[in-house]
Structure 1
Amino acid sequence: MPVYHHILLAVDFSPQDNQIIQRARNLSLQSGARLSLIHVLDNIPMPDTPYGTIIPPDTKTDDAMLEAEKQKLNQTGDTLGIDPACRWLIWGEPGEEIIRVAGQENVDLIVVGSHGRHGLALLLGSTANSVLHHTKCDVLAVRLRDD
């Protein structure tokens, strides 16, 4: 297994996120790699905000949904000991933004969850599938299981 220097953990704050978080944490500890965190907002209406906009996790807004997402990102980052400068909250299409940040930050491993979709959902694509087929670095797609 290659030694990784920078791992990007992509979370969507689903109930199964803990599986991805634990895998990324263990890989980071085993390899001594820096761990970064990304969450891409694609389910919150953000009028007049273009895709690719980075939302600073330390600024306050009047939007309760956005504040809840910031709080989740910061709680996860704090739990993992991730430097606030290595946490990204971005409005956009998840696959594209994960790939963009990974390239920009010289990430050599992306850890993302995979729901193992089949049929029409597979044809329409998924974040894990998009990342796997379009990024230049290694990808670990953690199979998510319902607890």
Structure 2
Amino acid sequence: MTGTVVVGVDGSPTARKAAEAARDLAAALGATLHVVSAFDGDRTERFGSGSDKWLVSDADKAEHVARTVADTLGGDIRITYSAASGRPADAIIREAIRKEARVIVVGNRRMHGIGRVLGSVANSVAHNAPCDVYIANTYDAD
């Protein structure tokens, strides 16, 4: 199989474990791995020291998270990354549609107990995905 495997990350240990599972799945399938980090809104903060000024936005932070995870996954596969605006589940699904993904990988964080009742990213993705969904066991990542 060729195509793309999409995984959402937020910098947490559980998201990292899901990304590692996505990397392994992409390698086994001969697919590209696309790492995406969501951001809600686009607040911009200004930082400066003397005449040096920096602008840091939510989009920049999300892209940094995605790039950092992508850069550290290694392996013999093609890995791309991006930041996507919106709630995490919605952003992952939009990226999967944009990339014509064959599989989305999400962790199973908050899929039991009260989180299951209130919802989770994995639950929302599983119910609305345009492709197959692989739910990685991430319980021991915290």
For this structure pair, what is the TM-score category when the shorter chain's length is used for normalisation? 0.7 to 0.9
Superposition TM-score, scaled by structure 1 size: 0.73
Work out the CA distance in 2 between the residues paired with 1:115 and 1:79.
22
What residue in structure 1 maps to residue 68 of structure 2?
75
SS in 1 for 2:140: coil
Gaps of 5+ in 1: 49-60
What is the count of residue pairs matched by the alignment?
129
Aligned to 1:46: 42
Change (3 A) 1:63 1:28: same
Q: 2:123 & 2:38 partners in 1: Cα distance?
A: 16
Q: Can you list the C-alpha shifts for 1:79-119, whole angstroms capped at 9, x where unaligned?
A: 34655xx3221221111111111112110100111114334
The alignment yields a C-alpha RMSD, in angstroms, of 2.5
The more displaced of 65-74 and 103-112 is 65-74
Q: Partners in 1 of 2:60 and 2:117 — Cα distance? A: 33
Structure 1 residue 35 displacement after superposition: 1.0
Distance across 2 between alignment mates of 1:78 and 1:37:
10
TM-superposition CA deviations, 1:34-68 (whole Å, max 9, x none): 111111124xx6349xxxxxxxxxxxx62376654
State the secondary structure of the residue aligned to 1:70. helix
Does the 8 Å CA contact 1:112/1:140 hold for their aligned counterparts?
A: yes
Determine the C-alpha separation between the residues in 2 that align with 1:104 and 1:67. 20
Whole-angstrom CA distance in 1 between matches of 2:64 and 2:91: 20
Partner of 2:10: 12
Measured after TM superposition, the shift of residue 17 of structure 1 is: 2.6
Tell me the amino acid that sits aligned with residue 136 of structure 1: P
Aligned CA distance change for structure 1 residues 67 and 5 (closer, same or farther; 3 Å): closer
Conserved 8 A contact 1:4-1:109:
no
**Does the aligned pair in 1 maintain the 2:39–2:58 contact within 8 Å?**
no
Contact 1:7–1:33 (CA under 8 A) maintained in structure 2:
yes
Structure-1 residue corresponding to 2:89: 95
Judged with a 3 Å threshold, the aligned counterparts in structure 2 of structure 1 residues 20 and 119 are, in CA distance, closer, same or farther, namely closer
Q: 2: CA distance between counterparts of 1:74 and 1:118?
A: 30
| 2:132 paired with 1:138 | yes
- Structure 2: give runs of 5+ residues left out of the alignment: 45-53
Between the aligned residues of both structures, percent identity stands at 30
CA distance in 2, matches of 1:88, 1:72: 9
Identify which range, 123-132 or 112-121, moves more after superposition. Answer: 112-121
Pick aligned residue for 1:62 from 55, 65, 68: 55
Q: Which structure: greater strand fraction?
A: 2
